Chains A and B, each alone.
Chain A
Amino acid sequence: MDLASQLLQFIFSGLTMGGIYALVALGFVIIHNVTGIINFAQGEFVMLGAMFMVTLTGAGVPLLLAIVLSIILVMIVVGIIEFGAIRPAKKASPVTLVIITIGLSSSIRGIALLVWGTDPYKLAPFTKGSSIQIGGASIIPQSLWVIGTTVVILTLTFFIFEYTYWGKALRACVVNKFAARLMGISPQKMSLFAFVFSAALGALAGIVIAPITYATYDMGLMLGLKGFIAAVLGGLSSTPGAVIGGLALGIIESLGAGLVSSGYKDGIAFIILLLVLFLKPGGIFGTSGSKRV
Chain B
Amino acid sequence: MVRFKKMSAILVITLILGLLLTGCGGGEKTSTTETKEPYKIGVILDISGGGSSLGIPERDTVNMIAEEINKAGGINGHQIELLVEDNKSDETESKLLVKKLVDRGVLAIVGSSTSGTSMAMTDAVNIAEIPMVSAAANAKIVTPVSERKWVFKTAQSDSLVVEKIITYLKSKGWTKVAFASVNSKYGDGGRAVFEKAAAEAGITILGQEKFGEKDVDMTPQITNIKRLNPQAVICWAIPPAASIFTKNYSELNVTSPLIHSHGIGNQKFIELAGDTANGVVFPIGKLLVAENLPDTDPQKSVLVDYATKFEAKYGARNTFGGHAWDALKIVLAAIEKAGPDRTKIRDEIEKTQNFTGISGIFNMSSDDHNGLALDSMVMVQIDQGKWVLAQ
User: A250 — nearest CB in chain B belongs to which residue?
Assistant: B217
B contacts with A, residue count (CB < 8 A): 30
The segment from A8-16, A153-161, A277-285 that touches chain B is A8-16
Cα A193 to Cα B217 with chains together (Å): 33
Residues of chain B within 8 A of A113, CB atoms compared: 48
| A10 CB, min distance to chain B CBs, angstroms | 5
User: A209 — nearest CB in chain B belongs to which residue?
Assistant: B216
Residue A258 contacts which of B221, B239, B240, B271 (CB distance < 8 angstroms)?
B221
Interface contact A138-B253, CB-CB below 8 Å: yes
B211 within 8 A of A: yes
Interface contact B217-A6, CB-CB below 8 Å: no
Residue A214 contacts which of B53, B210, B227, B240 (CB distance < 8 angstroms)?
B240
| A60 CB, min distance to chain B CBs, angstroms | 18
Question: Is the contact region of chain B dominated by helix, strand, or loop, or is it mixed?
Answer: helix
Residues of chain A within 8 A of B210, CB atoms compared: 262-263
Residues of chain B within 8 A of A133, CB atoms compared: 253
A162 within 8 A of B: no
Interface contact A9-B211, CB-CB below 8 Å: no
Interface residue ranges of B229-256 to A (CB < 8 Å) = 239-240, 243-244, 251-253
Interface contact A118-B224, CB-CB below 8 Å: no
Residues of chain A within 8 A of B389, CB atoms compared: none
B363 within 8 A of A: no
Interface contact B223-A6, CB-CB below 8 Å: yes
A70 within 8 A of B: no
- Binary flags per residue of A204-221, CB closer than 8 Å to B gives 1, else 0: 000001001110101101
Contact flag A258-B223 (CB < 8 Å), given A131-B251, A140-B251, A214-B272: yes
Interface contact B217-A13, CB-CB below 8 Å: yes
A17 within 8 A of B: yes
Interface contact A120-B251, CB-CB below 8 Å: no
Residues of chain A within 8 A of B211, CB atoms compared: 257, 262
A-B contact count (CB 8 A): 84
B52 within 8 A of A: yes
Residues of chain A within 8 A of B53, CB atoms compared: 118-119
User: A119 — nearest CB in chain B belongs to which residue?
Assistant: B268
Residue B274 contacts which of A12, A122, A140, A262 (CB distance < 8 angstroms)?
A122
Interface contact B252-A138, CB-CB below 8 Å: yes
B293 within 8 A of A: no
| B331 CB, min distance to chain A CBs, angstroms | 26
Residue B223 contacts which of A10, A118, A140, A219 (CB distance < 8 angstroms)?
A10
A237 within 8 A of B: no
Interface residue ranges of A66-115 to B (CB < 8 Å) = 113
- Binary flags per residue of B252-273, CB closer than 8 Å to A gives 1, else 0: 1100000000000000100110
Interface contact B253-A120, CB-CB below 8 Å: no
Contact flag A1-B220 (CB < 8 Å), given A119-B268, A122-B271, A138-B252: no
User: B268 — nearest CB in chain A belongs to which residue?
Assistant: A119
Residues of chain A within 8 A of B243, CB atoms compared: 120, 214
| A281 CB, min distance to chain B CBs, angstroms | 29
Residues of chain A within 8 A of B209, CB atoms compared: 262
Residues of chain B within 8 A of A213, CB atoms compared: 216-217, 244
User: B208 — nearest CB in chain A belongs to which residue?
Assistant: A262
Interface residue ranges of A230-267 to B (CB < 8 Å) = 254-255, 257-258, 262-263, 265-266
Interface contact A258-B224, CB-CB below 8 Å: yes
B352 within 8 A of A: no
A271 within 8 A of B: no
A222 within 8 A of B: yes
Residues of chain A within 8 A of B227, CB atoms compared: 1, 6
Interface residue ranges of B187-236 to A (CB < 8 Å) = 209-212, 214, 216-217, 219-221, 223-224, 226-227
Name 11 extra pairs, CB < 8 A, besides A118-B48, A213-B217: A6-B227, A9-B252, A10-B223, A119-B53, A119-B268, A131-B251, A131-B252, A140-B251, A209-B216, A214-B216, A254-B219
B interface with A by C-beta (< 8 Å): 48, 52-53, 56, 183, 209-212, 214, 216-217, 219-221, 223-224, 226-227, 239-240, 243-244, 251-253, 268, 271-272, 274
19 A-B pairs with CB atoms under 8 Å apart are: A1-B223, A1-B227, A10-B219, A12-B219, A17-B217, A118-B48, A118-B52, A118-B53, A120-B239, A122-B271, A131-B253, A219-B216, A222-B214, A254-B219, A257-B220, A258-B220, A258-B221, A262-B210, A265-B220
A interface with B by C-beta (< 8 Å): 1, 6, 9-10, 12-13, 16-17, 113, 118-120, 122, 130-131, 133, 138, 140, 209, 212-214, 216, 218-219, 221-222, 254-255, 257-258, 262-263, 265-266
